Amino acid sequence: MKINILNTFTNSLTVSGHFRISYFLILLLTVSFTGLFASETNLVWSTPSHNSSESMPCGGGDIGLNVWVENGDLLFYMGRSGTNDENNTLLKQGRFRIRLSPNPFKSPVDFRQELKLQDGSVEISANGTTVILWVDVFHPVVHVDIQSKHKVSSEIRYENWRYIDRLIRKGESQQNSYKWAPPKGLLMNRDSISSTGNAVTFFHRNSSNTIFDIAVSQQGMESVKSLLLNPLANLTSGGRAWGDNLRFKNTESGTYAGTDYTAWVFESSKPFTKQQFNIALHTGQTPDVETWAKELDKTIAGCSPTSDHKKTIAWWNAFWQRSFIHISGQASTLSQNYTLFRYMLGCNVYGTSPTKFNGGLFTFDPVFVDSTQAYTPDYRKWGGGTFTAQNQRLVYWPMLKSGDYDLMIPQFDFYNRLLKNAELRSKVYWGHSGACFAEQLENFGLPNPSEYGWKRPDYSDKGVEYNAWLEYEWDTVLEFCQMILETRDYNNADISRYRQLIESSVRFFDEHYRYLALHRGRKALDSDGHLILFPASACETYKMANNPASTIAALRTVLKTMGNKDSLLATIPPITLREINGKPMISPAKTWERVNNTEAPQLYPVFPWRIFGVGKDSLQIAKNTYLCDPDVQKFRSHVGWKQDNIFAACLGLTAEAKRLTKLKLASGPYRFPAFCGPGFDWSPDHNWGGSGMIGLQEMLLQTTDQGKILLFPAWPREWNVHFKLHAPKNTTVEAELKNGKVINLIVLPESRKKDIVIMNEDKE
């Protein structure tokens, strides 16, 4: 019964974001919980931490907490999706500090801090006192529950470093959309904070003039400004913290990790054995603060901690039932870190913005990432409102096989919201239709201003980023289009709301490259009737490319998956092959003028586009590319967004996949083992973790164009594993490999069992 219920749950999710599921069903799931993620799987620390870099993530809905105990104080940062200021910094919502007296955490003899994966909470205990932190999945509310066997008193501090306008220092604008080129005197504007009775209210309200206005003017889009989506103007983000048995005491000043702050201090009215403390958050574009405050009041009035906690626990229980990978023995660290990283992704299921590749909701004080960047806790490299598409995709591809289709909605809706802005770019600059999405994309749909170029020659094409890395790179949106299409195939999702996004993104390439060809000569197509994809770009690496393999593979695959686009598909040129030392292999492009980065777009036809790979006639050509292409060999690495582990798995190169996956999913340099990085980006490096997840999944399960499901296509026989993953046609596969033999196999629906092909298994 358990398995049938779980599949009913998974199949009830739709990409539209609506759920056809009752809480009764969720509670049944809770009862049927298998225990795979029971207490022995949870992460437990037996000593306090030294600083915020040794924090533990906790979250739900679209809120992330960094939780740690330091010098007897329990502290946590709050991050929330979509809380961007006027410069497009993604703001923390502050830091809380809880101090108990007598202090059980000061000299603990039985300290325990546990991330309880099955219910999404963090529990800290010592000397008879327990503090439980949890975030409501369905409402933006953080709960802190304190229980003690002995009466204690509490002091709860809300600490905020934005209590004043702060001059942004040299290098600090990497956290916002100005990046390395901020205007002189740029400020991070202060928050508004007030206390009354047992509560403190805090918020940051953006002015009506923001980086959006600067970018529109810079990029020559003023004629359509009134038509453009602007997510920043009058955006107010913040909340209110309150608790029973609390009263305001005073404000105090302090410094943490080199950043000064003001603390609003509350104390318990009397000693207690139980105390509840809550923080409700609200983010919205409102005409005034009063409207924002009324909407916050509605959130607070709707709080029902007991029932809300039951529903939150039920959601997490069901989340862990969707899929899992559990490796036993010496490689168990890999599945542990896979699971912990998936947990962090699950904390942004209802985000108004996607999970950012450069830290998500869980960044901490930057001085602990790079001692030369001692800025405020709001800092992260590569911006807060800037989304680098090549990096973002690695965060979201693993969600298909893990069955986390609801987690993909924030990323899909991100592009869908910006569709009109992207189409207006094409109209304004070139006079044709189709959506032009840049690679370094702001949350208002225009290229990042500094990547676009502040000092551009008058003759430059205003639609192109004047940037050696990013010029003519606009095909990554097709990966998100393919993800949308595959949720339809995996989960019967209703994707009608995204149809225009997909069609317009493809149409851009057809219309734009005909437009460019006709500006060079008389014919729109080459002598074979194909588009001439020039000038183009094979990722950020092979620049001024002609017919790049990554773009051709993307267009071919998306068009085939869409269906009924044969006439357009016929105009897509073939992927160029070349020969090196007598071995045929995939060429990065037909021609290119320079190599600018260290990606391997010649292997994108392997992943994500799956034109070459295991079970395909062209496998050897792709293997030659992986093993013999001099650039691919030179660029190979496991760090950050590097994908060699994925390529190796998709090509059935078991030894290589094993080697690289052990490096990719090894514990990171911080106390929480799934905090990777910084790699090329920032910590925790979410595209590092995402690429690790993808590679591990591909080692276990791949599918063919003929509907076959390949099990263990790149799996070391000596690694014992029990997993459950998803496949197209509403299929789940649960299998256990022990000592090289499959000892358990459950395929649902059972009709799909005939499509299973077990590979790399020891035979009798």
Q: What is the pLDDT of residues 249-281, one digit of tens each?
A: 999 999 999 999 999 999 999 999 999 999 999
Among 246, 260, 476, 322, residue whose Cα is nearest residue 6: 322
Among 477, 468, 409, residue whose Cα is nearest residue 441: 477
Q: How many helices (H) and strands (E) does the chain have?
A: 20, 31
Q: What is the pLDDT of residues 550-574, one digit of tens each?
A: 999 999 999 999 997 789 999 999 9
- Cα 439 to Cα 508: distance, rounded to the nearest angstrom: 15
pLDDT confidence band for 41 (50 / 70 / 90) = confident
- Cα 309 to Cα 306: distance, rounded to the nearest angstrom: 5
- pLDDT of 29 strictly over 90: no
Give the model's pLDDT for residue 762. Answer: 60
Torsion of Cα atoms, 741 then 746 then 751 then 754, to 10°: -10
Give me the mean pLDDT over the 84-113 stretch. 96
Backbone angles phi, psi at 496, to 5 degrees: -60, -35
- pLDDT of 4 strictly over 50: no
- Cα 622 to Cα 630: distance, rounded to the nearest angstrom: 14
Give me the mean pLDDT over the 680-709 stretch. 97
Give me the mean pLDDT over the 78-83 stretch. 98
Coil/strand/helix, residue 298? helix
Q: Where in the chain is the domain with CATH 2.70.98.50?
A: 33-322
Q: Are 324 and 37 in contact (CB under 8 A)?
A: yes
- Cα 236 to Cα 283: distance, rounded to the nearest angstrom: 6
- A 10 A CB-CB count for 661 gives 27
Chain centroid to CA 162: 26
- Cα 186 to Cα 201: distance, rounded to the nearest angstrom: 26
Torsion of Cα atoms, 481 then 483 then 488 then 492, to 10°: -150
Which residues have a Cβ under 8 Å from the Cβ of 532 and sit 6 or more positions away? 513, 516, 517, 525, 526, 546, 547, 573
- What does DSSP say about strands 756-758 and 709-711: parallel, antiparallel, or unpaired? parallel
Give me the mean pLDDT over the 631-654 stretch. 98
**Two tokens at 301?**
């009035």
Contacts of residues 177-184 at CB distance under 8 Å and 24 or more positions apart, as own/partner, are 177/87, 177/88, 177/211, 177/215, 177/383, 177/385, 177/386, 177/442, 177/448, 177/449, 177/450, 178/87, 178/211, 178/449, 178/450, 179/383, 179/386, 179/448, 179/450, 179/451, 180/450, 181/449, 181/450, 181/454
Give the model's pLDDT for residue 257. Answer: 98
- Cα 482 to Cα 562: distance, rounded to the nearest angstrom: 9
- Cα 450 to Cα 668: distance, rounded to the nearest angstrom: 31
Backbone angles phi, psi at 354, to 5 degrees: -65, 165
pLDDT averaged over every residue in the chain: 94
- DSSP string for 500-542: HHHHHHHHHHHHHHHHHHHHHSS-SS-TTS-----SEEETTTE
pTM, 2 dp: 0.95
DSSP, res 431:
S
- pLDDT of 71 strictly over 60: yes
Helices 389-396, 477-491: inter-axial angle, 10-degree rounding: 20
Give the model's pLDDT for residue 107. Answer: 84
CATH of domain 33-322: 2.70.98.50
- DSSP string for 180-205: T-PPTT-EEPPPEEEEETTEEEEEEE
Which residues have a Cβ under 8 Å from the Cβ of 331 and sit 6 or more positions away? 662, 719
Q: Are 698 and 725 in contact (CB under 8 A)?
A: no
